[in-house]
Structure 1
Amino acid sequence: MLHTELYFLADALTLTIINRYNKMQALPNTQNNKRGAKLWRCMLARTRLQVVILLMAFWVCGLFMGSSTMVNLNNGVIRHVAVVANQMSKLYTRNRTVSPTLMISSSTPHNATRFLRRDGQNSVKNPVTPASNISLANVTKQKTSPPVSSAPVTSPSPEKACTFPEVDPFDPSLEKLLNRNKSVDCSVNAKNVVFLKEDQITIDPLKVEDVLKNGTEFGYCQYSVIRMKKGSDKQIEIVYTSPHFNESIKINNTDENIRVECFDSNKEPISRSYFAFVRVDSEQERVLGDSYKVHIDKHAPAETLSILMLGIDGFAKQHFARAMPKTRAFLMKELGALEMNKHSKLGYSTSPNVIPLLTGRTSEELTNDAKWKFNSHGWMDQINEAFIWSDARRLGYRTGLVMDQVLITAFHYLRHGFDRRPVGHYMRPIVVDSTNDKLMRKTKHCYGDEPEITKMHDYWLQLLHKYNSTKSNQTPFFAYSFLARLTHDDYNMAFAGDDLYLKFLKELKATNALNNTVLVWFSDHGERFGRIRHTYQGTIETNTPYLFFAFPPWFERKYPDVMRVFKTNQNRLTSHFDTYATMQDILNFQGVVGPKGQLPERNISFFREIPELRNCEHAQIPPEYCVCARFTKPQLSPGLDNYLGIVLRDKIMSNLKDHKDKCAELRLSAIESILEETDTGKKSKKGVRSFRMSIKTEPGNALFEATLSFDSTANKAKVVGEVARTNMYRGQAECVDTVELRRYCFCKTPSKQ
C-alpha cells in the first residue's frame, strides 16, 4: 500500500506547486519591485525543492511496485511529474532566459542528451540514429513505462495515394550477401536407368552399367501404381505391382502415378524412377462437358480462357529481378507479361497469402462463415469447394494441382491436407512416395539425375498438350502450381532456378501452348529469413511479392480497352484479393471493362480501374505489412526505444499465455533496429507515431519484427497486428502445433528432430 500513500503525497505536493505558480503569475515581474523579486526567488527555490521531493517519491514508489507493473503515464505518481514539468516549463519560458543546452525540446539537438545505457553506464547517444544491437542486460528489472515524450506532437494526416518504395534490387551493398554460383547438382543421386516413351517404360543399358557396383550384375525392374492412402494426405498405398521385366514394359493407360524400381542380381535396389501421367477419365470428361455447355448457355463468355498459375515460395519481386533475370526478361519480352508494380503481401507466411488468392477470403472469414465453418487444423476438404479450382470445375474446366513439398504447403503445414482428391489431376502420390528416398533424393532438388523443377514442369506440359487447342478451347483447364523447395530455406538457391524456369517458358512458347491460356506468375511473399532480410532493403522485400499476367498474343489486339485498364492498374496498390477477383473475371470473361472500383472495396479485378488513392487500409493489407509509408530514422526520447522493445516482448509472451508449460519465458536481449513510419497514406490520429521495430530475445536468439503505435499524448505503446519472426526456428518450436504460434515459442524440452 506504500505506493498508494505516495500517490496522495504527490497530489498534495502538486497542488501546492500549482498554487504557488498561480500566485507567481499574479505578482509584478519587474526589477523595480524588490519585494516581488525577493518573493519570486524564495518561491522558486521552494518549488524546485518540492519537485526534487516529488521525483524521489516516484523513485521509491517504483522500487516497491516491482518490475512487472505497467505504469501508465497518465495515472499515479508519474502523472504528477508530467503536470509539474509542464507547469514549470511554462514558468521558466515566461519568466527566465534559459540556455538552450539545459532544455530538451523539439528544436534542441538530441545528440547532447545523456541517458542511462542498458549496461548501466552513462553515455551520450544520438537518438536520431536507429538503435542497433543495443545490449539490454537485466532488462526484465526495468519499468515498461516510457519517459515523457519530447518529440513534437504530430498533426493528423489526410488520406493520399500509396507511395510504394523504389528500392534498387542491384544495390551494390547487397552483393556481399548474395551467392550467384548456386546450382542444382544431381550427380550425388543414383541415375534413373529407365526412360518413358508414350506408355512404355524402357531400360537404358548404358545407365545400368554406370550404377552397378562391385562387379554385380543387373537383375530386373518392376513398377508399382501408387495413390494416396484413404484418410491420409501424407501416406501412399500400392494398388498394383507389375511383373519383372528386363528390357521394357507397357503400362496401363489408366495408371497415373507410378514408381519404377530396378535391382541388381543380389536384389539390392540400384535405381528408382517416379512418373506422373495426365490421364483422361471418360466419365469425368462427360460430366465436365455437360457443365461446360451449361456455362456457355448461361454466361455466354466472350472467350473461354484456361488459367495456368505458377507460384514460387518466398520470392520478392526485387530478388526475382536479381536471381532470375533471364526468366524475367523472357516472361516480359517474349510472352508480353504485365507486372503489377505495387503488389503487396497479406500475411506472414504462405497460408495467409494463398488462401485469399484462391478463395478471395481470409482463413478467419472462412472460419466464421456459417457455410464453411473452416477448422484450420482439420481437413482442407472442408473448404475445397471454396477454392477457385472448384469454381472452374463447376464451369466445365479440367483442374490440376502440383506442389513439391509434403508438409510445407498452405494445405499441409500443421494441417491434415485433403482426405479426398481436391482436383482432377494430382501428382502428390509421387511427391510423398519419393520424399524419403535416400538413393534417388540425396539432394532434394532432384529426382535421380533429373531436376525436381523439370519433373514438375513436364507434368504441366502434358496437361497443356492434352487439353489446349490452338483454334478453340472446348476443354479449358485451371492448373495451380506452387513450388517451395528451391527458395524456402535459402534465397540464394533462386539463382540456380533461372535456366530451369527459362527452359520451361521457352517450351510453352515453342509449342504454342499458351494460345488460349492466361499465365499467372506469382509468389506469396518475399524472403522471410536470411541476411538480406535483416537489412533495410529486406524489410521492404519481405512484403513485396511479384505478380505477372501473360495473356495470349492475340488478346490485346481484340480487347484493347480491357488491356488499357489492366495497364493502368499496374501502378495501383494491389494484393492477392485482387488477383482472385481477376481470375474470376477470366473464368467468366465478358470482353468489356468492368465498373470502376470504389473505396474501400477490397477485391477489385484488374479489368476494373482501381482507385488511384487506394491505400493499405482500403485494400485490407495489414498495417504491419504495408510498405506505403516512408521509413525514417526516428527522433526518440531517452529510453523510448527500450520501452517499445519491452512492449513488443510482452506482446509475444501474451501470445504464448496458454503454452507457458511448454514454452520458455523470453528475455529481451537487444534492440536490433527501429525506424519510424511517416506518410502512410491513411488518416492518422494526432500525436500518434508508428515505428517498425526489430528485437532479439533469449533463449534461442530469436529475431522478431513488428509495427508499434505510440500515442505521445497518452504515452502508451501497443503492437499493431501480428509479430513476424525473421530468422528460422526449425528445431526450436515443435512442441507447439499451432501455425500462428510456433514462430514465437522456444520449447523448454528440446526437439527430437
Structure 2
Amino acid sequence: MGCSDVSIFQLNNIYNNMNNMYQTFRERSKTLSDSTALNTPKQNTSTQKGVRRGRVASKSGESTEVTVAQMSPSLDVSTFPADKQTSPASSDKHTIAASSRVRAKVCEFAEVDEADPSIAKYLKRHPPIDCTANIPNVVCLHGDEIKVDNAKVQEALRKINSSGRLAYCQYQTLHRIPNTDNRVNSNFTSAKFKVSSKLMISDEDIRIECKDTRNKTISRSYFSIIRPDPEKELAYNNSYKVHLDRNSPAETLSLLLIGIDGFSKQHFSRAMPKTRNFLITQLGGLELFKHSKLGYSTSSNVIPLLTGRTNEELAEDTIWRFKTHGDMDQINEAFAWSDARRLGYRTALMFDQVAITAFHYSRGGFKRRPVDFYMRPIVVASNKDDLMRPGHKHCYGDEPEVSKLYDYWLQLLHTFNSTRTSRMPFFAYSFLSRLTHNDRNQAYAGDDLYLKFLTDLKATNALNNTVMIWFSDHGQRYGASMHTLAGEIETNTPFLFFAFPPWFEKKYPDKMRVFRTNQNRLTSHFDTYATIQDLLYFKRVAGQSGKLAERGISLFREIPIQRTCANAQIPAEYCVCSLVPKASSLRSGLDKYLGMVLRDKVNSMLHKHRDKCTKLTFLKIKSFVERNGQEKGNQLRPGIRNFRVTILTTPGGAEFEATLSFDESTNRAAVVGEVARSNSSTEKAACIEVEELKRYCYCKII
C-alpha cells in the first residue's frame, strides 16, 4: 500500500487503544494515591510566593560614572559651543511615526514603516526552502504501523542511481541518556521489513532506515509519536477533577504557544505577509500593537513569559543560580507548563536547536524529562546526522524542518483536542530559532511553511478548544541595520498575537472587549504570563481594571492608558516610548566622550576576567541617537539628556550599544541599564564560562 492517502491525522487507532487501556486502569484510579495523582493543584495568584510586583533593578545595576575631563583630557568642556538644532540621525532617512492614539506624556510608541528605506537596503528575499535533493523518506505512519511506499522507494533508487532494489527497512528507538539532555542512544532495533512493521506501544521516538540490495542507504527518516501514558492519564483526570471542584473554571482551554526567535513585528509583516494575513483574517488573531521586549536575550524574554519572573528573581528565589551552568530541573516547577500539569493538563515542549535555546545555551538543559511529550531525542539525533542535513540545515531529509516539527503539534491537537467537549486539555510550548536567528532574510523562506501549518490547523478544526499564542522574543539583534534608528526600534518590538476559538468572542463579549482595548496599550511578556494564568483559572466575568503598580496584567483586565515603561518594568534601554525622534542639540566631541564611557563600562564588567579577556579600545562611533525622554513617569530632570550610542571596539571588531545619561550641569555621564552586543558574539569568548559576559570578552588566547 502507498502512503499518498495517509496523513498524520490518522491516529485514531492510538486514540482508541488509549481509551481501551483506560478501562483496564479505571478501578485502580479509585485507590490512586495523592503522590500518583501528581501534585495537588493550587490556585495561582498574583501574590504567590516569589512573584514580586515591585520595581526590578536593571540588569546592569551599577553605573560607570566619570567626568569629561577624566575620560578625555583633550576635550575642553568650557569650549563646547552653544546648542544647535540638528537631526539626531541626519544620515538616516527613516520613516518613523509616533502613535497618535494617546495623549502626549503617555507612551508615544515609536513605529517603523515596514518599507523604511534605512532597513530596506539590507533586505533580500530568500528563495523557498528546497529539500528535494536530499535523502528521501519512503515510509509513513498509519496508526500503530509503519508502511513502506513502493512508489517512493522507486524514486529513491533512481535518485541514488541504484541498479538494485529494496532489501529491507528497519527502525530503532531513540532515548535520552539518563541525566543529560544532549545525548541519545538506541536500546531496540526492530526486525527487518519490506512492507510494514507494527510499532510497540512504548515507541515514541524512532529512526527508520532502508537499504538496497547492495547495502546502500536509500532512505532515512525520524518520527516522534504522541503516546499517552494510561497511568499518567488517570492521574491527570484526577487532578483535573480536583481543579474543577476547587477552582470552578468556566472553561478549560488548551494553550498552544508558538514562538519564533529574533523576529520583530515589522519584519513578520514584511517577510511572512501570507502567514500574518491568514492568522488575522482566518484564525481571528489579535495583535498587541505596543508590545515591548524585556531584555537582550531569548532567555530574558521567555523566562518572564513562562514564570512571571526575571532570570535574576528566579536565581534569588530558588536554589538555581542563573550565573552557573546549573540544569533547569531546579526551576521546572516554576514554569507555566508545570502550573498547567498540576491542574490536569498534558504538557509538551519542542525546539529545533540542540544548544541555542533559553534552557540549553550555557545551561544544562533538563536532566529529567520536563514534560509529558518532549521530542528532544529526534532533534538531538537528527542535528548530528550529516546524511539528513547535507548542505541544507533547514531540512529533515527531503522535508523542510519547520513542516516536520509542526506535524508533532498536529498530532498533539488531534489526540487531545479533536472536539470542544474533550476534557483532556494540554499546554504546549515550542520555540524555533534556526530559520530566523542569524539571518533575517531567511524568514522570507518560511512564509509558505508557516501558512501551511496554520491552514492545517483551520482545516482540521484543531483550535476549537485551544488558545494559540503566536509570539517572538525580540527583533533582529545583529547587522548594519542596528546602526539606524529604525533598526533599534525593530530590535525592541517583538510580535504577539492571541487567536481564540471561533466561538469564544460570542460567549465572552465583555472579556474580548477589554482584550481589544488592550491591543493599543503598552505590554510585555509579564502580561502574557498573567494572561496564561488567567486562562488556566478561567473566570466567566472580566476582572477589575489593572493598576499602574502592577507589572504583569492579564489582557482580560484593562491596562491603564497612562502606563509607562517604568510602570511595566520594561528597562529604559529597551523602551521605544522614548525613541520618538527629537531634534538634538549636540556639543562638539560629546559623542566620542560618551563612546569612551561605554567602552570603559564594558572593560569594567570584564575586570575580574582581565587575565583572560583583552582590554578593549574605542575605535569609532557607529550610531548616536538622542532619546526624547518625554514619557510620563520617565521624565528627565532639567539638564539630563539620554542618548543611545553604538561603538566599534578593537580587537575583534565588537560593536556595543547602550543608553547613556549625560548631566549637562556636571558634565558627567553614566551607562543606564544593560550593554548590548550588536554584532555576532561568543566565537572569540570560549575562555570564560560566565554566559552573560561572553558577548563582551575577546580572549587573549584564542
Question: What interval of TM-score do these two structures reach, taking the shorter chain for normalisation?
Answer: 0.7 to 0.9
1:114 corresponding residue in structure 2: none
AA matched with 1:686: P
1:680 corresponding residue in structure 2: 631
1:36 corresponding residue in structure 2: none
Rounded Cα–Cα distance in structure 2 between residues aligned with 1:475 and 1:341:
33
SS of 2:220 mapped into structure 1? strand
AA matched with 1:176: K
User: Alpha carbons of 1:230 and 1:411: their partners in 2 closer, same or farther (altered >3 Å)?
Assistant: same
* Match status 1:448 vs 2:397: yes
1:669 corresponding residue in structure 2: 619
AA matched with 1:666: L
2:221 corresponding residue in structure 1: 273
2:663 corresponding residue in structure 1: 711
2:31 corresponding residue in structure 1: none
Instruction: Measure how far apart 1:641 and its partner are.
Output: 1.1
2:51 corresponding residue in structure 1: none
- Which of 115, 125, 133 is equivalent to 1:170? 115
Rounded Cα–Cα distance in structure 2 between residues aligned with 1:615 and 1:306:
32
Answer whether contact 2:288 2:518 (CA < 8 A) is retained: yes
Alignment of 1:177-192 (within 5 A): 177-192=122-137
AA matched with 1:357: L
Alignment of 1:550-569 (within 5 A): 550-569=499-518
- Which of 400, 408, 426 is equivalent to 1:459? 408
* Match status 1:202 vs 2:147: yes
Rounded Cα–Cα distance in structure 1 between residues aligned with 2:646 and 2:69:
27
Answer whether contact 1:305 1:473 (CA < 8 A) is retained: no
- Which of 625, 632, 635 is equivalent to 2:582? 632
Instruction: Measure how far apart 1:728 and its partner are.
Output: 1.2
Alignment of 1:498-647 (within 5 A): 498-629=447-578, 630-632=580-582, 634-647=584-597
Rounded Cα–Cα distance in structure 1 between residues aligned with 2:386 and 2:125:
28
* Match status 1:237 vs 2:195: no
* Match status 1:702 vs 2:654: yes
* Match status 1:749 vs 2:701: yes
Instruction: Measure how far apart 1:213 and its partner are.
Output: 3.7
Alignment of 1:37-76 (within 5 A): 72=67
Rounded Cα–Cα distance in structure 2 between residues aligned with 1:70 and 1:584:
41
Answer whether contact 1:358 1:580 (CA < 8 A) is retained: yes
1:226 corresponding residue in structure 2: 174
User: Alpha carbons of 1:590 and 1:305: their partners in 2 closer, same or farther (altered >3 Å)?
Assistant: same
Q: Flag the structure with higher helix content.
A: 1
Rounded Cα–Cα distance in structure 2 between residues aligned with 1:70 and 1:223:
63
Instruction: Measure how far apart 1:374 and its partner are.
Output: 5.8
1:403-422 CA distance string (max 9 Å, x none): 10000000000111001110
Answer whether contact 2:573 2:673 (CA < 8 A) is retained: yes
2:351 corresponding residue in structure 1: 403
1:58-97 CA distance string (max 9 Å, x none): xxxxxxxxxxx9974699999xx98xx7xxxxxxxxxxxx
Rounded Cα–Cα distance in structure 2 between residues aligned with 1:263 and 1:736:
46
Instruction: Measure how far apart 1:589 and its partner are.
Output: 0.5
Alignment of 1:361-376 (within 5 A): 361-370=309-318, 376=324
2:676 corresponding residue in structure 1: 724
Instruction: Measure how far apart 1:180 and its partner are.
Output: 1.7
Instruction: Measure how far apart 1:268 and its partner are.
Output: 3.8
- Whichever of the two has the greater Rg, that structure is 1
1:119-163 CA distance string (max 9 Å, x none): xxxxxxxx7565989xxxxxxxxxxxxxxxxxxxxxxxx993111
1:494 corresponding residue in structure 2: 443
SS of 2:111 mapped into structure 1? coil
Deviates more, 1:664-673 or 1:242-251: 242-251
Rounded Cα–Cα distance in structure 2 between residues aligned with 1:729 and 1:469:
45
Identity %: 57
* Match status 1:417 vs 2:365: yes
SS of 1:177 mapped into structure 2? coil
* Match status 1:105 vs 2:82: yes
- Which of 376, 379, 387 is equivalent to 2:327? 379
Rounded Cα–Cα distance in structure 2 between residues aligned with 1:609 and 1:368:
31
Matched positions, count: 620
SS of 2:545 mapped into structure 1? coil
- Show structure 2 runs of 5+ residues with no match: 1-63, 93-102
Rounded Cα–Cα distance in structure 2 between residues aligned with 1:522 and 1:721:
25
Rounded Cα–Cα distance in structure 2 between residues aligned with 1:480 and 1:268:
38
Instruction: Measure how far apart 1:480 and its partner are.
Output: 0.4
Rounded Cα–Cα distance in structure 1 between residues aligned with 2:301 and 2:397:
33
TM (norm. structure 2) is 0.84
Answer whether contact 2:597 2:669 (CA < 8 A) is retained: yes
User: Alpha carbons of 1:477 and 1:76: their partners in 2 closer, same or farther (altered >3 Å)?
Assistant: closer
User: Alpha carbons of 1:172 and 1:555: their partners in 2 closer, same or farther (altered >3 Å)?
Assistant: same
Deviates more, 1:248-257 or 1:419-428: 248-257
1:681-709 CA distance string (max 9 Å, x none): 32322321100011111112211111001
Instruction: Measure how far apart 1:367 and its partner are.
Output: 0.7
Rounded Cα–Cα distance in structure 2 between residues aligned with 1:163 and 1:575:
16
Deviates more, 1:253-262 or 1:388-397: 253-262
Instruction: Measure how far apart 1:663 and its partner are.
Output: 1.8
Rounded Cα–Cα distance in structure 2 between residues aligned with 1:289 and 1:72:
65
Answer whether contact 1:339 1:546 (CA < 8 A) is retained: yes
Answer whether contact 1:363 1:376 (CA < 8 A) is retained: no
SS of 1:346 mapped into structure 2? coil
AA matched with 1:596: S
Rounded Cα–Cα distance in structure 2 between residues aligned with 1:319 and 1:561:
32
Instruction: Measure how far apart 1:592 and its partner are.
Output: 1.1
Instruction: Measure how far apart 1:733 and its partner are.
Output: 2.0
AA matched with 2:591: D
Rounded Cα–Cα distance in structure 1 between residues aligned with 2:383 and 2:566:
42
- Show structure 1 runs of 5+ residues with no match: 1-68, 86-101, 111-126, 134-157
Answer whether contact 1:403 1:483 (CA < 8 A) is retained: yes
User: Alpha carbons of 1:375 and 1:711: their partners in 2 closer, same or farther (altered >3 Å)?
Assistant: closer
Instruction: Measure how far apart 1:505 and its partner are.
Output: 0.8
SS of 1:399 mapped into structure 2? strand
AA matched with 1:243: A
AA matched with 1:342: K
1:625-648 CA distance string (max 9 Å, x none): 110012335322221111100000
Answer whether contact 2:658 2:672 (CA < 8 A) is retained: yes
Rounded Cα–Cα distance in structure 2 between residues aligned with 1:351 and 1:70:
29
Instruction: Measure how far apart 1:471 and its partner are.
Output: 3.5
Instruction: Measure how far apart 1:270 and its partner are.
Output: 3.2
SS of 2:566 mapped into structure 1? helix
1:555-600 CA distance string (max 9 Å, x none): 1111111111111111110000000000100011002111111112
SS of 1:240 mapped into structure 2? coil
1:20 corresponding residue in structure 2: none
SS of 1:628 mapped into structure 2? helix
AA matched with 2:141: L
Instruction: Measure how far apart 1:265 and its partner are.
Output: 3.5
Higher relative contact order (CA 8 A, sep 6+): 2
Task: Give the alignment's Cα RMSD to 1 decimal.
Answer: 2.4
